[in-house]
Amino acid sequence: MTEPLVSVRDLRIGATTDAGRKVEIIKGVSFDIAPGEIVALIGESGSGKTTIALSLMGHARPGCRISGGRIAIGGDDVTAMSETGRAALRGTRVSYVPQSAAAAFNPAKRIMAQVIEITDIHRLMPRAEAEAKAVELFRALALPEPESIGTRYPHQVSGGQLQRLSAAMALIGGPDLVIFDEPTTALDVTTQIEVLRAFKSAMAQGGASGVYVSHDLAVVAQIADRIIVLKGGEIQEEGTTGQILHAPAHPYTRALLAAFEPRPHAAVPAPGHPAQPRPIIEVAHLHAGYGPISDGAPQAKVLQDVSFRLERGRNLGVIGESGSGKSTLARAIAGILPPYRGTVLVDGTEMRPDLRNRSKEELRRAQIVFQLADTALNPAHSIGAILGRPLAFYHGMRGQAAERRVIELLDMVQLPANLRFRLPGELSGGQKQRVNFARALAAEPELVLCDEITSALDTVVAAAIIDLLKELQRELDLSYLFISHDLSTVEAICDDVLVMHKGRVVEALPARDMSAKAAHPYSRLLISSIPQLDTGWLASLEQDPELVRQFALR
C-alpha cells in the first residue's frame, strides 16, 4: 500500500460547558486516507463528523480544542503547526466546500473574484492565469457559460450552480485534500444529481483526495471509495463502500441501512365505509399567493387551482421540490396565508380563508406542525409551558390536570416526564421534533398538517418519528397531510400522493408503487432522481435532457 496522504491517530477534541464541565466530542479516532481516495464520514448530527473534517485543516470550532492525538497531511504534522503554518496549509493543500454555498459567498462581490481569492492570498499564480484556471474548473464542473459566469454576482446563479462554484473555489489552489461538508444536503434531488456528477468528475480529473461528510448513505454511496461510520465521537465501522452497504458488520450501521429501507405503509381501505361518509378535508380550486392584491389576486401567485380530498384515517403525501408551493398549501389550509380563491372543507364545514375569522373549535381540529423544531418552539418557555398552553387555550385545562396531561402527552411521544422542566435549547433535534408534534396533539386535532417534519432529522431519528406517527394514528384516529421532498418518507406513511410543481398539482398517485404508476413526466423525473443505495446508481442513471431542462430548477 502506498503512503497515506492523511493519517489521523487517536484524535481527541474536547470542549468545556457553561458549568465548567469538560466534555470529549471526539474520543480517540484514527484513520488514513490514501492519495486520490474519497472517504466518507457518515453519522447522525452530534456524531462529530464535521468536527473531525474541520480538524483536518487544524481548525476547531470556537469553544472546542484539539486536545490530543496527531493529524498528519503528506507527512506534515498539522496538530503541531503554528497558526501561521495552518493558514498556509488551508486553501493550498487542504480546502473546504461548505454545506451552504449561499452563506459562504459574499453577495457584494463578483463570483470570479471570490473563486480566485485563494490564489491571491497565497500568491500562487498571476491573476490572468488564475482566471483561466477558474474557467477550466467551471467547465469541468459542467457550469453553464463557463467563460462569463464568473462576472455574475452570487444571487444571479442558482443554488446548485453556487454549490458547484464553491467546489471550484476549493479546487483552484490545487489541494491534495478537499473536505466536502454536506454539500448537497440543502439541494433539491434533481439538482443534487447534477452537483454530485460534477463533483465526481472534477475530483477524478484533479486526482485529489476527498473527505465527504454526510448523513445520507445513498449520496455517499455514489461518490465515496470508503465509508467511516461515526457515532458519539467514535468510529463504529470502517470499510469500503460496497462492504458497508452490502455486508455491514456493526449493529449501528445496520440500523442506518434499515432506516433507509422504505417500509411501505399498509394502506387503509379506500373510502366507502358508510359510517363516515365525509372526508376529513376537501380542498377545491385553492389559489393562494403573496404580495399586494390587485383585481382579487395577489402579485405572486404561488398555489394555483389545487384540489384534493382526504378520507378520515388516511394520509395524503405532498411531494415536490423547493418552490413548488407545498408548504404554501399547508399554510393556506391552516389560514396563515388566506387563500384568495377556492374552498377548504374540514369534516364538511367550510373554513373561512383567514384564520382570524375561524372559531376556536375550527382551529383546534386542524393543527400544523412545522419543519424546524428549533424555530417552532419558543426558546424562552419550558417544555411544560409549551405543551400546557394549547391545553389551557382549547380545553381550559390548568394546574394539576394540565400537568398530568402534559406528562401524558410526553409519554405519547415517548419522552420522559421530567423533560417538561427543560428549555427547548436543552433537547436534541429528535426530542424537539417530538415536543413539536406533542403540542399539536395537545389540541386533540383530527387532522395534522405535517410540513417537512422529518426533513431536518437524521435518518434513524426520522424513521423513529415516522413509526411514532403511525402508532399515534392508530391510537388517536388522526389523519395526516404529510408534506415532504423525501419520497421514501412519504412512501412509508402515506396512502396517496400529490406531486406538485410550480404551484400546481401535476399528478395524484397511490403511494405504493409510485414509481411504476407515475405517468406525468415531472413525477417520473422526480422519482428517478432519488438516490438509491447502490454504488452504480449515479453512473447508470440516464435522464432525458429535454425533461431535465423543462422541469429541473438548476
Partner 1 sequence: MTLTKTLAAVLPTPGRLGYRFNLAGRTGLCVIAFWALIAVFGPLMSPYAPGEIVDWDYFSPMSGQFWLGTDYLGRDMLSRILMGARYTVGISLAAVAITVTAGVLLGMTAAVIGGWFDMVLSRLLDALNGIPSLLFGLVVVAAVGSSIPVLVLTLAAIYIPGAYRYARALAVNINTMDYVTVARARGETTFYLATREIFPNILGPVLADLGVRFIFIVLVLSGLSFLGLGVQPPNADWGGLVRENLEGMSLGAPAVIFPSVAIATLTISVNMFIDNLPVKIRDRSE
Q: For residue 9, give Cα distances in angstroms to 12, 123, 209.
A: 9, 32, 18
Q: Which stretch binds partner 1 (CB under 8 A): 53-61, 95-103, 254-262, 386-394?
A: 386-394
Residue 40 — φ and ψ, nearest 5°?
Answer: -100, 135
CB of 287 or CB of 358, closer to partner 1: 358
**CB-based contact 119:173 (threshold 8 Å):** yes
Left if phi > 0, otherwise alpha if psi is -120 to 50, otherwise beta: which for 313? left
Q: Is residue 376 involved in binding partner 1 (CB under 8 A)?
A: yes
Q: Minimal CA–CA distance to 323: which of 459, 119, 502?
A: 502
Cell of 83: 497558526
Q: Which stretch binds partner 1 (CB under 8 A): 183-191, 252-260, 291-299, 328-336?
A: 328-336
Q: Is residue 378 involved in binding partner 1 (CB under 8 A)?
A: yes
One residue of 393, 520, 521, 541 binding partner 1 per CB under 8 A:
393
**Residue 128 Cβ, how far from partner 1 at the closest point, in Å?**
45
**CB-based contact 457:465 (threshold 8 Å):** yes
Q: Which stretch binds partner 1 (CB under 8 A): 28-36, 373-381, 453-461, 482-490?
A: 373-381
Q: Which stretch binds partner 1 (CB under 8 A): 97-105, 119-127, 376-384, 396-404?
A: 376-384
Question: Rounded to whole angstroms, how far apart are CA atoms 352 and 359?
Answer: 9
Q: Give the torsion sign (CA, 297, 302, 305, 308).
A: negative
CB of 355 or CB of 468, closer to partner 1: 355
Burial of residue 270, with CB atoms counted within 10 A of its CB: 0-12 exposed, 13-18 middle, 19 or more buried: exposed
CB of 259 or CB of 383, closer to partner 1: 383
Question: Rounded to whole angstroms, how far apart are CA atoms 210 and 38?
Answer: 4
Q: Is residue 19 involved in binding partner 1 (CB under 8 A)?
A: yes
One residue of 288, 334, 447, 530 binding partner 1 per CB under 8 A:
334
Q: For residue 341, give Cα distances in angstroms to 365, 494, 510.
A: 22, 27, 27
Adjacency order of strands within the sheet including 226-231: 94-97, 177-181, 209-214, 38-42, 226-231, 234-240
**CB-based contact 172:130 (threshold 8 Å):** yes
Q: Which stretch binds partner 1 (CB under 8 A): 53-61, 96-104, 379-387, 500-508?
A: 379-387
**Residue 352 Cβ, how far from partner 1 at the closest point, in Å?**
12
Question: Rounded to whole angstroms, how far apart are CA atoms 410 and 399?
Answer: 17
Interface with partner 1: number of residues (CB under 8 A): 30
Binders of partner 1 among 401-430, rule CB under 8 A?
Answer: 423, 426
Question: Rounded to whole angstroms, how far apart are CA atoms 130 and 141?
Answer: 16
Cell of 347: 369534516
Q: Is residue 450 involved in binding partner 1 (CB under 8 A)?
A: no
Q: Is residue 390 involved in binding partner 1 (CB under 8 A)?
A: yes
Q: Which stretch binds partner 1 (CB under 8 A): 12-20, 90-98, 177-185, 460-468?
A: 12-20
Q: Which stretch binds partner 1 (CB under 8 A): 107-115, 282-290, 353-361, 484-492?
A: 353-361
Q: Which stretch binds partner 1 (CB under 8 A): 104-112, 200-208, 371-379, 510-518?
A: 371-379
- Bridge partners of 343? 284
CB of 147 or CB of 426, closer to partner 1: 426
**Residue 112 Cβ, how far from partner 1 at the closest point, in Å?**
34
CB of 18 or CB of 475, closer to partner 1: 18
One residue of 335, 384, 429, 531 binding partner 1 per CB under 8 A:
335
Residue type for position 436: N
Q: Is residue 537 involved in binding partner 1 (CB under 8 A)?
A: no
Question: Rounded to whole angstroms, how far apart are CA atoms 117 and 30?
Answer: 33
Q: Is residue 400 involved in binding partner 1 (CB under 8 A)?
A: no
Cell of 382: 419550558
Adjacency order of strands within the sheet including 281-294: 297-310, 281-294, 341-346, 349-350
Q: Is residue 18 involved in binding partner 1 (CB under 8 A)?
A: yes
**Residue 176 Cβ, how far from partner 1 at the closest point, in Å?**
39
Cβ atoms within 10 Å, residue 348 = 11
**Residue 377 Cβ, how far from partner 1 at the closest point, in Å?**
6
Q: Which stretch of DSSP H or E encloses residue 470?
A: helix 459-476
Q: Say whether 487 sits in a helix, a strand or coil.
A: helix
One residue of 178, 344, 363, 397 binding partner 1 per CB under 8 A:
363
One residue of 49, 358, 434, 554 binding partner 1 per CB under 8 A:
358
CB of 393 or CB of 537, closer to partner 1: 393
Question: Rounded to whole angstroms, how far apart are CA atoms 31 and 234?
Answer: 11
Q: Is residue 372 involved in binding partner 1 (CB under 8 A)?
A: yes
Beta strands in 473-543 (DSSP E): 479-484, 496-501, 504-510
Cell of 396: 381550559
Q: Is residue 317 involved in binding partner 1 (CB under 8 A)?
A: no
Q: Is residue 360 involved in binding partner 1 (CB under 8 A)?
A: yes
CB of 392 or CB of 533, closer to partner 1: 392
**CB-based contact 533:218 (threshold 8 Å):** yes
CB of 426 or CB of 471, closer to partner 1: 426
Q: Which stretch binds partner 1 (CB under 8 A): 13-21, 36-44, 48-56, 402-410?
A: 13-21
Q: Is residue 381 involved in binding partner 1 (CB under 8 A)?
A: yes
One residue of 1, 103, 266, 380 binding partner 1 per CB under 8 A:
380
One residue of 300, 336, 476, 539 binding partner 1 per CB under 8 A:
336
Q: For residue 305, give Cα distances in angstroms to 338, 447, 519.
A: 14, 22, 20
Positions in the binding site for partner 1 (CB under 8 A): 17-19, 21, 334-336, 355, 358, 360, 363, 367-368, 370, 372, 375-381, 389-390, 393-394, 423, 426, 439, 443
